[in-house]
Chains A and B, each alone.
Chain A
Amino acid sequence: MSAVVQVTGLRKEYRNLRGGKTVALDGIDFEIPGPGVYGLLGPNGSGKTTTIRCLLGLVRPTSGHVRMFGADQSELPSVIHKVGALVEGPKFSPNMSGRVNLELFAQMSGLSRSRVHEVLELVELTERANDPVGAYSLGMGQRLGIAAAMLGNPELVILDEPTNGLDPAGMADVRRLVRRLADEGRTVLVSSHQLHEIQQTCDRVIIFDAGKIITAGSVAEIIGSASGRRILVSVENRASALDILTRAGFSAMPSLGADQLVVQIEDGTGAADINRLLAHQGVFAYGIAADTVSLEDAFLSLTTKSSALSNPNNEAVAASSNTKAQS
């Protein structure tokens, strides 16, 4: 059985009038095998939305392939009924009511009006359904956008920043809805800046930076790998320890605790190496532990590291862009 989404060597360049070009996606690969909630994370301009636009046929890739349900971009019309999407916020006719907007979308897809009623109930907008969309709050518009995405009862739901503009209660509603959709056996692809939301909702995460995928895996794996990279060192003479570690080439910084340092460690380096180095210089650590990190810490650590590495002479990032979400 084919993967729900399969992206191979996807590259997108935008050319400007002066002949210059901007690389929005730099040869990314990933695969979404089946039901579950998948998160696309990355700073602004990292390529998340461009990826979604390529998936939906809104943007033509410069090179590479996109497949959904086994169909490539030219066959997209044959599988689009299995896909529901909300891309960069809700987009409706502001002078028409929410209900009319949905009815028109339903009509173009050959869906019944009863389905409109169902999705309005799903996002709890029935009472305001006859108001013009222009009078909706940001959150209501966002819910209407999710309702529109759900019209065709899709197997794959793509939600680009679905919690934008929502209050905490609204965010919790979307989180529950997304989990429910996954529990019903659907595949949900969520792009978000709300790292807290992603951490609570997604099964697996793909992290983008500067048009590349820098890592992918389950939330636990990503946090785990980032935790493994940072250790918390407790010493009495913090200033000396900081100086010793910095001179030795470690990225270290004072932590919130009075005697603590957070030290970034590279592959092949461990807590023992840090301890040995400090002891050799006469500074003794009374505690060394893996730093507890959130997805946000992991994300910042990964994207900062990626930015530092993303110069033309470094091949490390290019290698990490060949990653599978299910790996």
Chain B
Amino acid sequence: MNMLRAEIARITHRRITKAAIVMAVVGVSIAGIVTYMTHTSTAPDIALAESLAAQNSADCLTSYATNNYGLSQSEIDQACVSDPAWFVTDKNFHLQSMLSGNGSEPFAQVQATTAARYDYPELGAQSAAYGLSNTLAGAGIVLTLAAAVLGASYVGADWRSGVMESQLVRQPNRLKLFGAKFIAIAIATGLGAALAAAATLLATIPSAIWRGDAANTGADFWIAAAQMIGRIGFAAALFAVIAAAVAMAARNTAAGVGVGLVAFIVGGVVGGLGGSWTRFVDVPQNLRAWIAQADVGYWFSRSTPGGGTETWQLLGHGWFAAGLLIAAAAVAVSALSGGSFIRRDVS
């Protein structure tokens, strides 16, 4: 326990931790302010809507001028009423859309739009792409990648400064030191990412109150939000552990960050190539699926009798399996790294 407490204290004393906290506070504050500033209809928006409504009304009346279909003028006038409100972009901020869709559209509207946009019966409306549009899920991905950089940095800095050697002189039980370091990294980055995600949600509340609405944000909403924040924290902890494990094996930060970045990019590219197995290495899609409780799909193509090609996105595996995949990767990489740490000389 002393070791774990000391490792957590070491993390909190690090300059990069303090810098990350400042960046998170600034980033969340800016996100909150920008959301508040952009979610209101401006005078030019309204003027444009009024002009579009007038034009629409005029076009309607013109079309009835050639053929009135037996309607009276009063009936035509009524049919050609055009409400400027129809043409004002909905810029109200709906708090519930933090979890369910684009921040400026009501929940039901987003659901309908998304269902139409991704009309794949096999996959359903809750696709990974749909998940990406979730504000909180997007923030979660950024936080997870930041956690990976921090995880690699914590371990790499200990090697670079020689602190790792100083610690081994005090604690020759390497498994114990490895365990304390990695548990501390998982706790610190997981909690940090969860707190930052919660702060992101809270930063949009002023927008919901004064520039939108907080409708349908009862107990279910807050439970779902808490679950998503928990999943973000868990994903951040796992990614930090993976990056730290690579940095531990290579004994420097750059390897942890570099290998993580390459895995993220290459995984995404391979995932887009098609074939049912590619979804297992598609790091970005699995991460999005885990955070947004979405499904992981894969592309399936076949030739048509007419000589063309049909392509579908099919359901691969669910969000829980995506989380398990990430956890399994973290365990495997940590085990390899731990084995190397225990056996290799420090010279």
Contacts and interface: CB of A to CB of B under 8 A. Distances in A.
A76 B345 CA distance: 16
A57 B3 CA distance: 18
Given A93-B14, A104-B10, A59 B161 contact: no
Given A58-B345, A59-B346, A80-B172, A108 B163 contact: no
A95 B15 contact: yes
A143 to B, nearest CB: 15
Contacts of A107: 2, 5-6, 9
Interface in A86-101: 87, 89, 91-96, 100
Contacts of B169: 56, 58, 80, 83, 85, 87
A92 B170 contact: no
A108 B346 contact: no
A14 B343 CA distance: 14
A104 B6 contact: yes
Given A107-B2, A109-B2, A96 B165 contact: no
A189 to B, nearest CB: 13
A92 B166 contact: yes
A117 interface: no
B245 to A, nearest CB: 21
B109 interface: no
B168 A105 contact: no
A58 B10 contact: no
Interface string A100-135: 100111011110000000000000000000000000
Interface residues of B, number: 28
**Contact residues of B: prevailing secondary structure:** helix
A148 interface: yes
A60 interface: yes
A172 B7 CA distance: 36
B338 to A, nearest CB: 16
A214 to B, nearest CB: 23
6 smallest beta-carbon distances between A and B, as pairs:
A91-B162, A108-B6, A107-B6, A57-B172, A58-B346, A76-B172
A77 interface: yes
B302 interface: no
A85 B7 CA distance: 20
A175 interface: no
A91 B6 contact: no
B340 interface: no
Given A76-B172, A77-B172, A108 B3 contact: yes
Interface string A31-55: 0000000000000000000100100
B157 A108 contact: no
A60 B2 contact: no
Contact of B347 (A58, A96, A108): A58
A50 B166 contact: no
A50 B347 CA distance: 8
Interface of A: 14, 50, 53, 56-60, 76-77, 80, 83, 85, 87, 89, 91-96, 100, 103-105, 107-110, 148, 152
Given A56-B172, A91-B166, 15 more contacts: A58-B168, A58-B345, A77-B176, A80-B169, A85-B169, A91-B161, A92-B162, A92-B166, A93-B13, A93-B157, A94-B161, A105-B6, A108-B167, A148-B166, A152-B170
Given A59-B346, A93-B157, A104 B13 contact: yes
B5, B168, B173, B345 — most chain A CB neighbours (10 Å): B345
Nearest to A107: B6
A92 to B, nearest CB: 7
B48 to A, nearest CB: 54
A148 B173 CA distance: 19
Contacts of A148: 166
B2 A108 contact: yes
Nearest to A85: B169
Contacts of B13: 93, 96, 100, 104
B345 A59 contact: yes
B89 interface: no
Contacts of A92: 161-163, 166
A256 B10 CA distance: 58
B14 A95 contact: yes
A80 B345 contact: no
Given A77-B172, A93-B157, A110-B2, A105 B166 contact: yes
Given A91-B161, A93-B163, A100-B13, A108 B171 contact: yes
A43 to B, nearest CB: 18
11 contacts: A58-B168, A58-B347, A77-B171, A80-B170, A80-B172, A87-B165, A92-B166, A93-B163, A103-B9, A108-B6, A109-B2
Most buried by A among B165, B172, B345: B172
A205 B172 CA distance: 27
A296 B286 CA distance: 67
A80 B5 CA distance: 20
B153 to A, nearest CB: 12
A96 B163 CA distance: 12
B60 to A, nearest CB: 70
Nearest to A53: B347
B165 A58 contact: yes
Contact of B173 (A56, A77, A100, A110): A77
A103 B9 CA distance: 10
A305 B231 CA distance: 69
Contacts of A60: 343, 345
Nearest to A151: B170
A135 B347 CA distance: 26
Interface in B186-201: none
Contacts of B347: 14, 50, 53, 58-59
A50 B9 CA distance: 32
Nearest to A97: B13
